[in-house]
Amino acid sequence: MAMALRPIDNALPTTPERPKKQAKVSVPVQKQPDSGVNDENRAPLPPPSVDATVDYVPSENLKPIQDPESNIQGLIEGLNSKDWIKVCESLNNARRLSLYHSSLLAPLLEKVILVVVKAMKNPRSALCKTSIMASSDIFNAFGEKLLESTNSDAFDQLLLQLLLKASQDKKFVCEEADRALNAMVKSMSSLPLLHKLRGYVSHGNLRVRAKAAVSISNAVSKMALEEMTEFGLVPLLQMAADLMNDRLPEAREAARRIVIAAHKAFMEKEEQEAWESFCQTNLSTIHAQSLFKVVSSQ
């Protein structure tokens, strides 16, 4: 006799079994040998440190060029080369030409200045330093003629880059830029230089303000009262009074030197009472008092 089957309507539903999670498998990747060729799917290799391959030749050790006429023909091409070492070599040739063959370099001076500015912006420290050294030799060789032989904008770009490089953290670049700024002040008349520098004492970068203030104080120390008056003795003293409240000690010390130089020049023509009267008449009481304090503390 056949057995009756039990209905399964009331049976508990069964939970479907979850699929097993697949285990992660580490597949070793064989490191590809460096063939020196950049794969388009790989980041390019960082450039090797090459500063040691560049010679930073002091100006006094530079020698004249044997055949300057031939060298000058390829100078601009070398300066615009994509090979940065070639650019450094051309910058050193520009230095030699400026010191020993300046008449040949003069017609190309503006083009050279623009390349110097471009090289200063380069992240390679060797190229940056070589270009700063080139600017020092150009200042020493051409002096006043630099403003006459170049577009005003080219000189302004050069000045800004030197102030920026003198304000950065890389010590050997900063020191080289300081030397270039000193060469600029020594080789050029103070009056046109002050007009170029005056805008930078209100620059947003406090280090740039300080470096500009130092250059201004060095330029003012060379000036007679007549030149200061031509520039504007009141604006000069006002500038110094403002800088004495600057955040950086370097800027404040430069401001003190400006006041002392202006007072010394003034006293060669006038008496102390005239100095005090001049300051009280043309400056605010607070600024006049700060100038008097500087002079009395000498």
State pLDDT tens for residues 36-53. 333 333 444 444 444 446
Side-chain-side CA neighbours of residue 29 (13 Å) = 3
The pair of three-digit structure tokens given for residue 172, joined into one six-digit string: 């050997």
pLDDT recorded at residue 128:
95
Report how far residue 164's alpha carbon sits from residue 157's, in angstroms, rounded to the nearest whole number.
11
pLDDT recorded at residue 43:
42
State pLDDT tens for residues 118-146. 999 999 999 999 999 999 999 999 998 88
Report how far residue 105's alpha carbon sits from residue 138's, in angstroms, rounded to the nearest whole number.
10
Is residue 217 predicted with pLDDT exceeding 50?
yes
Fold of 57-188: Leucine-rich Repeat Variant (1.25.10)
pLDDT recorded at residue 220:
98
Residues near 240 by beta carbon (within 8 Å), at least 6 away in sequence: 255, 256, 258, 259, 262, 291
- The answer to pTM > 0.85 is no
The closest of 118, 116, 127 to 51, measured between CA atoms, is 127
Domain residue limits, the chain: 57-188, 203-298
Least confident of 64-78, 117-131, 232-246: 64-78
pLDDT recorded at residue 145:
86
Note whether 139 and 130 are within 8 A (CB): no
pLDDT band at 73 (very low <50, low <70, confident <90, very high): confident
Name the strand (E) or helix (H) holding 108.
none
